[in-house]
């Protein structure tokens, strides 16, 4: 799955890649630029598949091999990793069957090449894997809205989640002071700015 990175004017989604034409069209309509990344955990999974083409199962030497390639991908060198994987498989004389994991990894990285901008994401402080986001969604949304017997309308659910987010982030007190000031202005000041005219 691919996710757009949380950034100003961006959003997160767990939608499959097949939905991206819809996301991009809607973003263009609203003038929003989406920064899209593949969850880095998926990249690691493919690197491990490639590693087992060169190392025996449970060989500890596979770990630094995977880490080295992962660091290069994080640094924006995905093309160099793709080339290195292909060259190493050729140099090792692997058969088509033996290099299946390598070819799968190369195919994945090549197909997702435009979605591997981890160097930019890390430079800007954006998350590159969705575990934290999914955990936050489970805590923020699931723990409140998925309670037994609950039925929610869109407006009610959104209102509750906004308050829950304020509370979770520690911003509720500041929000409440702002809310009271706005309500005071709406109910009192806006109505009674001009004193009523006195009878002659």
Q: What are phi and psi of 37, to 5 degrees?
A: -130, 150
Residue with tokens 């969705």: 130
Could you tell me which residue, 52 or 5, shows the higher pLDDT? 52
pLDDT, tens only, 61-114: 999 999 999 999 999 999 999 999 999 999 999 999 999 999 999 999 999 999
pLDDT, tens only, 128-185: 988 877 787 888 888 888 888 888 899 998 999 999 989 988 999 999 999 999 998 8
Domain ranges for the chain: 1-128, 132-189
At 3 the pLDDT is 46
Q: Would you call 115 helix, strand, or coil by DSSP?
A: helix
* 64 closest CA partner among 79, 49, 77, 51: 51
The pTM (predicted TM-score) of the whole model is 0.65
* 1 closest CA partner among 101, 133, 188: 133
Query: Are the beta carbons of 28 and 17 closer than 8 angstroms?
Result: no
Query: Are the beta carbons of 105 and 38 closer than 8 angstroms?
Result: no
| Alpha helices in the chain, H assignment, sequence order | 20-30, 40-51, 62-74, 78-91, 100-111, 118-123, 131-137, 143-145, 154-168, 172-184
Q: How many CB atoms lie within 10 A of CB 35?
A: 18
Query: Are the beta carbons of 2 and 38 closer than 8 angstroms?
Result: yes
First to last CA, the chain: 76
């Amino acid at each position: 799955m691919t996710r757009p990175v949380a950034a100003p004017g961006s959003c997160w989604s767990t939608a499959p890649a097949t939905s991206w034409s819809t996301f991009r069209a809607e973003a263009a309509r609203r003038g929003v630029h989406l920064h899209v990344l593949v969850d880095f955990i998926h990249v690691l999974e493919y690197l491990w598949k490639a590693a087992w083409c060169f190392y025996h199962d449970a060989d500890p030497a596979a770990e630094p091999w995977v880490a080295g390639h992962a660091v290069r991908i994080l640094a924006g060198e995905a093309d160099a990793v793709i080339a290195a994987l292909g060259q190493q498989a050729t140099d090792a004389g692997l058969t088509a069957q033996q290099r299946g994991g390598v070819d799968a990894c190369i195919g994945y990285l090549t197909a997702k090449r435009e979605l591997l901008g981890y160097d930019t994401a890390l430079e800007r402080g954006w998350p590159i894997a969705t575990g934290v986001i999914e955990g936050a969604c489970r805590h923020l949304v699931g723990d409140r809205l998925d309670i037994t017997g609950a039925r929610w309308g869109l407006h009610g659910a959104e209102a509750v989640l906004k308050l829950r987010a304020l509370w979770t982030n520690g911003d509720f007190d500041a929000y409440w002071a702002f809310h009271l000031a706005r309500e005071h202005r709406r109910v009192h000041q806006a109505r009674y700015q001009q004193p009523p005219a006195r009878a002659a």
